[in-house]
Amino acid sequence: MKRGALSTIAAGAAAIFGAGSALAAEGAPTPGGVHFQEPATAVMRDIVSFHDNWLMPIIVGVSVFVLALLLWVIVRFNRRANPTPRKFTHNLLVEVIWTIVPVIILVVIASQSFPLIIKEETIPQSEYTLKVTGRSWSWAYEYPDLGVSFTSSILSDEDIAARNAGDPEVPARRLLSTTEPLVVPVGANVHVLVTSEDVIHAWAVPSFGVKEDAIMGRVNETWFNVDSPGVYYGQCSELCGKDHAFMPIEVRAVSRAEFAEWVVAQGGTMPGAPAVGAGGEPEAAAAAPTR
């Protein structure tokens, strides 16, 4: 597993992202963007659709309704339009309505909310287990069953310039690109275990709909299943001290074949492949569920 880090990365990157590989997706912020990053998992698509189809219409509706009422009273009941104020202070009917209707709206929201959290929080049968460890200020990744582990830190401005000089298909991005991206297979359930070696960090990839606190002494779990090959970025999302803004997350989702190549290049062993070290677990692959 020892290797010259940079040359391996370069070789790996060339193997994975060589000419012709369809690297359509990029999970990154867009300049001036006002909406979510492009979703890359079913969970994130559900988050977006819950937000866009249910929450947004409701909250925009409520806000516009309140604004319209305010404008109406401003126009209709100002001093000039209505010199003598009326004195009523009760109206049972409207009071009942504005209690019941919000309750109904909230029940509707909850009916959509609960299925979503069930989907997010129920870890499906997973092909791969990924252990993520936050530390000040970088991320350590490990596929315990594959015998792969490495550390991923922020890519310096010089390295970004160097990488982009070669006019790569996916440019390196400031504050988002890392020295060594996490590589995951497309279309596989990945069970993520998140913990920390020191203060609390949070492992977040917006386009996956994943954000999980990394806490010392506790292992949190979440999962994802990436739709299509691409590069997906995230950033530490729990204040962890001076370099909190400088411990990015870069995930490269690749085909299963490319993933297997990468694992081997990292000195690990794919399950089912002739065992190099210990721990090839053939059943894991057989049990691969469709989610």
Partner 1 sequence: MSHHDAAHAGGAHDAHGDHRPSIYDPRRWLFSTNHKDIGTMYLVFAIIAGLIGGAMSGLIRWELKEPGITFLPHLVHVPHAILEQVRLGVMNADQLWAWKVDAAKHFYDTLVTYHGLIMIFFMVMPAMIGGFGNWFVPLMIGAPDMAFPRMNNISFWLLPVSFTLAMISFLVPGAGDHAGFGGGWTLYAPLSTNWGGGATPFSYHDGPAMDFLILSLHIAGASSILGAINFITTIFNMRAPGMTLHRMPLFVWSMLVTVWLLVLSLPVLAGALTMLLTDRNFHTNFFNPAGGGDPVMYQHLFWFFGHPEVYILILPGFGMVSQIVSTFSRKPVFGYLGMAYAMVSIGLIGFVVWAHHMYTVGMGLDLEAYFIAATMVIAVPTGIKIFSWIATMWGGSIDFKVPMLWAIGFIFLFTVGGVTGVVLANSGVDTSFHDTYYVVAHFHYVLSLGAVFAIFGGFFYWIPKMSGYRYNGFLAGLQFWIMFIGVNIVFFPQHFLGAQGMPRRHVDYNEAYQYWNNISTIGYLITAVGVLVFLVTLVEMFLVKRKAGANPWGEGANTLEWSLSSPPPFHQFNELPVIKPEAGH
Q: CB–CB of 133/197 below 8 Å?
A: yes
Shortest spacing between CB 134 and Cu ion, in angstroms: 7
* Candidate list 21, 78, 111, 125; residue touching partner 1; CB under 8 A: 78
Q: CB–CB of 9/180 below 8 Å?
A: yes
Nearest to 222 by CA among 235, 211, 238, 206: 211
Q: How many residues bind Cu ion (CB under 5 A)?
A: 4
Q: Which is nearer to Cu ion, 213 or 261 (CB)?
A: 213
* Candidate list 127, 142, 180, 212; residue touching partner 1; CB under 8 A: 212
CA 21 to chain centre: 23
Q: Which of residues 8-47 bind partner 1 (CB under 8 A)?
A: 28-37, 44, 46-47
The verdict on 278 binding partner 1 (CB under 8 A) reads no
The verdict on 261 binding partner 1 (CB under 8 A) reads no
Shortest spacing between CB 190 and partner 1, in angstroms: 16
The verdict on 284 binding Cu ion (CB under 5 A) reads no
Which residues, other chains included, contact 33 with Cβ-Cβ below 8 Å and sequence gap of 6+?
A: none
The verdict on 221 binding partner 1 (CB under 8 A) reads yes
**Partners of 223 in beta bridges:** 191
The verdict on 201 binding Cu ion (CB under 5 A) reads yes
38 binds, among partner 1, Cu ion, none (CB under 5 to 8 A by kind): none
The verdict on 135 binding Cu ion (CB under 5 A) reads no
The verdict on 246 binding partner 1 (CB under 8 A) reads yes
The verdict on 236 binding Cu ion (CB under 5 A) reads yes
* Number of Cβ within a 10 Å radius of residue 191: 17
Nearest to 217 by CA among 291, 134, 143: 134
Q: How far apart are CA 223 and CA 203, in angstroms?
A: 12
